[in-house]
Structure 1
Amino acid sequence: MNLINKKVTHKHFGMGSIVKHNDTIIEIHFASENKKFVFPDVFGKHLKLHDKSDANSLDEIIQKKENERKKEEWKKEEERKLQRKNQELRLEHNKLMKNHKLHSESQMVFWCDSEEQKSSLSEWKVFAGEVKSGNNKGNPNKPIRLHQNSAVLLTAVDSSEKDRRILGVYMVNEDFIGKLCEDGYIPAHSKYKLLLTEQESEQMYFWKYYANEKSPHKMTWKTGKYRYFENSLMAQILLDIVALKDNSKDRELAQQFFEHFCKMNQLTEQDLPKPNGALMRI
């Protein structure tokens, strides 16, 4: 908008003529001197254009700038709210980390369908599913027992439930706390994650280790994508995976995984019982 030579009246300096202006500064020649002002902020309360058409156009510019200012203020306020929320979550996270007490069944076994078999082992995360009923119906499940000491066992069924195979296993992400999980996804630790080969998987049957408490001789999953189980059972499984690994590099990682898991769950290899799942009781 070109305002050069346009006539104006200032509240204190009287009539004048615009001699220069850009997006931020306007210079006006009054009777005795030139004055510079912030553009377009000076208009409205202190300065008025004589030409009504120019004044209307300028009002639109001022309104647009005001809207942009309000939008920027709103954006900054939203950023401040987000920062406050993140700070509150971090404080809660640190509190839960500090006060965490080990649960004896804080391990998860997950049932992977055909599609999840690929995604879970490539992306190294699983989705805990959605709440099926109640006030939170449709919201992601919160895996509340999972903590830094937890591992997720990935399994699949080809035909019969008794042949449920172990596909892989991972410790949860270093900072993961199930109680604070909002999206239902359970990500893996940056280091401790093990993939079993097809041949290894065929030697690792879940029901060799696990038994339903109420029906210890039956191998039934019933419903749901996952269930929790004992820390010591997960340690048994990890120990057997170590024995399976032929590749020295894989075996070393499996051994480190096992030792890390036992440390996090206050377990020792000597205290682990022999596998006694439903398959062992037939």
Structure 2
Amino acid sequence: MQLVGQAIKHKVFGKGIVTGRDNNVLTVDFSAGEKRFLFPDSFSSFLSLQDGGLQNEIQALLQEKHAKQHAKQQEIAKEKARRDYLRSLKIVPNSQAVFNLKKEEIAKAFADWSVCTGYYLSGYSKGKPRTLDRLAPNSICVLTHCKNGMIEQDRRIIGAFMVPEDFLGSECEDGIIQAHEIYRMKLAPKDELLFWPYLQETPPTKAWGSVAFRYLSNITAAKILFDMKEAVRGTGEQEHAEQFYEHFCKINKLNLSF
């Protein structure tokens, strides 16, 4: 936009001529002397061009700038609301989930970074997706698999992810849980962990059953994440795993020492 040489008017200094423009600073020569103004901000209240076409272009720039500022303010407000919500989140002691992935489900789970809660097998809700009422933004989904030919005691933890920060299990009607964009992790086969030792506080019978998921305590889930980060120590995944673990403990208000 060529503004140098254009006739301009100021509410106080009267008529003038634009003599220079350096990025967002406009220089104008008035009878009272040379003045500098922010561009295009000053056109919202003090300045106006004699050329109507250029004036309209500047108004369009102002509208675009104001729209960007408004969008940025909304993002800041949204982020503040998100942080306030997480700080006030009521923590339920057993609000974590562990999933049984069948062989044919593993590739899709890690490609889409999502899991299915399965379906009710009987009762009024038979055939409908199972709900996870306990899951909230503080929850993780631990992913496990028992390979064909292996005994149930050899079930392995193959990955884990946090749920999104706006997730509420009671509102998950389709039974699909998407992973958090950042806090998610897939273990290499050499780093996979045995699952059942983490449930030593439960009866010793190691049987999964027909359900797609079961609940875990927050402390048990934290121990799993701790061991996952230890398993990848010294690899390129170490820093990410440590951030994952620290985020989980912070959001669940846990101060642990394993």
> Same fold, TM exceeding 0.5?
yes
- Whether contact under 8 Å (2:86, 2:251) holds in the other structure is no
Instruction: Check if 1:161 corresponds to 2:147.
Output: no
Aligned with 2:133 (options 127, 138, 144): 144
The structure whose Rg is larger is 1
Aligned with 1:126 (options 107, 115, 138): 115
Partner of 1:268: 255
Partner of 1:229: 216
CA-based RMSD: 1.9
Q: How does 1:67-78 map to 2 (within 5 A)?
A: none
Partner of 1:205: 194
Deviation at 1:269, TM superposition (A): 2.7
Q: How does 1:93-132 map to 2 (within 5 A)?
A: 100-132=89-121
Deviation at 1:97, TM superposition (A): 7.2
Q: How does 1:1-282 map to 2 (within 5 A)?
A: 100-158=89-147, 159-201=150-192, 204-211=193-200, 213=202, 215=203, 217-270=204-257, 272=258
TM-score by length of 1: 0.58
Deviation at 1:122, TM superposition (A): 1.4
Query: Which deviations, in whole Å up to 9, do the C-alpha atoms of 1:172-229 show, x marking residues without a partner?
Result: 112111011110001100100011001111xx1001211363x2x2212123111001
Deviation at 1:258, TM superposition (A): 0.3
TM-score by length of 2: 0.63
Aligned length: 173
Identify unmatched segments of 5+ residues in structure 2: 1-81
Of 240-249 and 101-110, deviating more is: 240-249
Deviation at 1:134, TM superposition (A): 2.3
Percent identity between matched residues is 37
SS in 2 for 1:269: coil
| Matches of 1:116 and 1:245, distance apart in 2 | 24
Deviation at 1:101, TM superposition (A): 2.0
| Matches of 2:180 and 2:110, distance apart in 1 | 13
